[in-house]
Structure 1
């Protein structure tokens, strides 16, 4: 964030110092990448998804930890002026639930990894779009410069033809041809300017800046490939580590856990609980405490659990098919 703020401040200072009728700032490729990382809405949404999934991991893990609760009350009954006060603290600990809470924790961790994979996929898509928009703007700038040069030369050519025509050394057809070529170049200059503005808008849209920057240009950079060759890993190793394949594998693991949870929902759950407190008229002095073990066993829920199992099985089959397709 500090790096982004410093970069934004530098760009703002350039805006203030440079004259209004000149390009306010020149972007290079690295500056566009940095701005897109912090401003592109798809990347920002993916980062928030990662943050949410990490919090879901903490939330799921809390089910395995002891739970404590503090409560208080004030009661007054009909027919009496006495007010009874009470305060208590209770604690509970899950002993056994068939592993459903543990499975939920593991599933949330896989979902967090999937969110990171989604960010990598989105980052690759944004880089591709940004590169295409960057190249298109470079081409548009180059074409605009070329047509400006052509227009300048055709203006000079028309001026020379006109001088020869005035001197009687050139016929009228040559003059009209020179004027037509000059007008053609003027039209091409206008079209090149519009194409450049469209390319700028596309680049800014991908970067994530929708307002505030219009008058800018790109630096001419050398993007020629290096002659040095580096050893490349085997294609099979690259293919098995692609983000899309990792995502499908994680989704398959999540579907397996969902099926396991659906089957384990028929198992009983055991919970240990304890409570202590005081009650009575003010000041309350009646002490009480309790310790117990609770057992819960589902018997019949209208075939809900059977339907959940079948749904999880179908979901697992679908994710396996998608995973095999990616392979």
Structure 2
């Protein structure tokens, strides 16, 4: 192990020990995934959508079950009626009685009847649908297909959250490694500056070389602070996915590891089993069932009903009335609404078929593209590692030559900058490989739960 790698290992170990001692045990991607499953609002939303679809499916069976209706009423009837066929106004009658000089209780020009009566009734009606033009069966099939679509949407939401979590996890690990690398670069720049300063003070180097090394040190200080800010932003993205409070701390366990090249399998199997395509296929079945629901309006409706009623002028009513009926109805013309409802339903079914085919084509292309990007990213890491090893070896030789006066500052500075850039590029390449792997797993429909 070289000196810089040894010093880097000590730095990471001290930082890790100090953080864990204050914040608790380090967490892995699997434990973060459990937190995301519990707290992510997008996942909770998809679960609620699935629950709604299940309830709608259970409700669709209502068409096969009878309906019961209970009714009760209480009425008071007031009679104020003259036998001559004239309704008598009580106020008018009272005025006429006061203005008359003669009256007779035994004789009247006509007979009259006044009074009040109560009327109570209770009843129970049961009805059962016998035939509704196959709308009941089609409604059940449609609701069942929508449940399957909601299930696949929920699964795809999990895969999307898994993809976002992988990305955020890789970005945080990259930011941590970048901060550690920036610290190492700053220390290297400071040592180089001190070496150039000694040569400058000894008259073996000019002032421009010293100022250049001083500027490089300032740049290293800036890049270190920038890496810390990047780490804070990446942690914020991680917490957004986990939906946790801002002050909660996480010490991630692990480092950026180059993934292995996946086996080249049948694209069609990946695409056919992807939740996005399966959800679209379920929507096609739901749309097809919607056509049957619309066509059911052209069939007659047949149902039977039974009613029992009690009516009387006292509570509880005692006399009973029974009625039974068989009902038949057939729509003849309703302005063409049923005709155009069928047209609309068939158009919706056609749209869903096109949407499914478009999703299949998109997934096939994305799958092939992500596979090639992953292979390119993995191969690129290998190339970057070779360049870094070569640059590291050359930098060791160049430093020894510069210390002994066998190499001028300009050439040595170029070699040092090349080493630093090669190491940064290698770290960036590892991150890109991790992100490419996350995209590949997203496109084959694999979440962290499936690992």
TM class by shorter chain equals 0.7 to 0.9
TM-fit CA distance, 1:102: 1.3
What residue in structure 1 maps to residue 59 of structure 2? 59
- Structure 1 residues 89, 19: closer, same or farther in 2, change over 3 A? farther
What is residue 7 of structure 1 aligned with on the other side? none
Partners of 1:145 and 1:21 lie apart in 2 by 19
Aligned-partner SS, 1:311: helix
**Aligned match of 2:445:** none
Query: Could you tell me which residue of structure 1 aligns to residue 276 of structure 2?
Result: 244
Q: CA deviation at 1:89?
A: 2.1
Distance, in Å, in 1 between the alignment partners of 2:220 and 2:229 is 14
Give the whole-Å Cα distance in 1 for the aligned partners of 2:266 and 2:19. 53
CA 1:152–1:82 in structure 2 vs 1: closer, same or farther (change >3 Å)? farther
2:251 aligned residue: 217
Moved more, 88-97 or 277-286: 277-286
Match among 321, 340, 356 for residue 288 of structure 1: 321
Rate the CA distance shift 1:221–1:20 in 2: closer, same or farther, 3 A: closer
Alignment partner of 2:251: what SS? Answer: strand
Per the alignment, residue 337 of structure 2 pairs with 304
CA distance in 2, matches of 1:164, 1:153: 17
Per the alignment, residue 150 of structure 1 pairs with 185
Distance 1:184 1:72, change over 3 A: same
Q: How does 1:272-287 map to 2 (within 5 A)?
A: 272-280=304-312, 281-287=314-320
Tell me how far 1:208 sits from its aligned partner. 2.7
1:273/1:292 contact within 8 Å kept: yes
Maintained 8 Å contact 1:24/1:215: no
TM-superposed CA distance for 1:121, in Å, is 1.8
* 1:1-327 superposed matches below 5 A: 22-23=22-23, 26-79=26-79, 81-155=116-190, 158=193, 172-173=207-208, 175-209=210-244, 211-221=245-255, 223=257, 234-280=266-312, 281-325=314-358, 326=360
Specify the SS of the correspondent of 1:289: strand
Aligned CA RMSD, in angstroms, stands at: 3.1
Closer, same or farther: CA 239–160 of 1 in aligned 2, 3 Å? closer
In structure 2, the CA distance between the partners of 1:263 and 1:190, relative to structure 1 (3 Å rule), is same
Shift in CA distance, 295/283, structure 1 to aligned 2, threshold 3 Å: same
Asked if 2 retains the 8 angstrom alpha-carbon contact of 1:270 and 1:293, the reply is: yes
The residue number in structure 2 matching 1:15 is: none
Indicate the structure (1 or 2) with the bigger Cα radius of gyration: 2
**Equivalent-residue separation in structure 2 for 1:319 and 1:207 (angstroms):** 34
Indicate the larger mover: 134-143 or 80-89: 80-89
Unaligned runs of 5+ in 1: 1-17
Q: Are the counterparts in 1 of residues 173 and 255 from structure 2 also a CA contact under 8 Å?
A: no
Give the deviation of 1:164 after TM superposition.
7.5
Deviations 1:148-180 (A, max 9, x none): 222244445556766787788876555534432
The answer (yes or no) to whether the contact 1:262–1:309 under 8 Å persists in 2 is yes
Identify unmatched segments of 5+ residues in structure 2.
1-17, 80-114, 362-451
| CA distances 1:87-129 after superposition (whole Å, capped 9, x unpaired) | 2222111100111011101110110001001112222222112
Between 43-52 and 241-250, report the one with greater CA deviation.
Answer: 241-250
What displacement does 1:47 show?
A: 0.7
Matches of 1:159 and 1:77 in 2, distance apart? 112
Paired with 2:197 and 2:22, the residues of 1 have a C-alpha distance of: 34
Aligned-residue offset at 1:200: 1.1
Give the TM-score normalised by the residue count of structure 1. Answer: 0.82
Aligned residues between the structures: 307
- Structure with higher helix content: 2
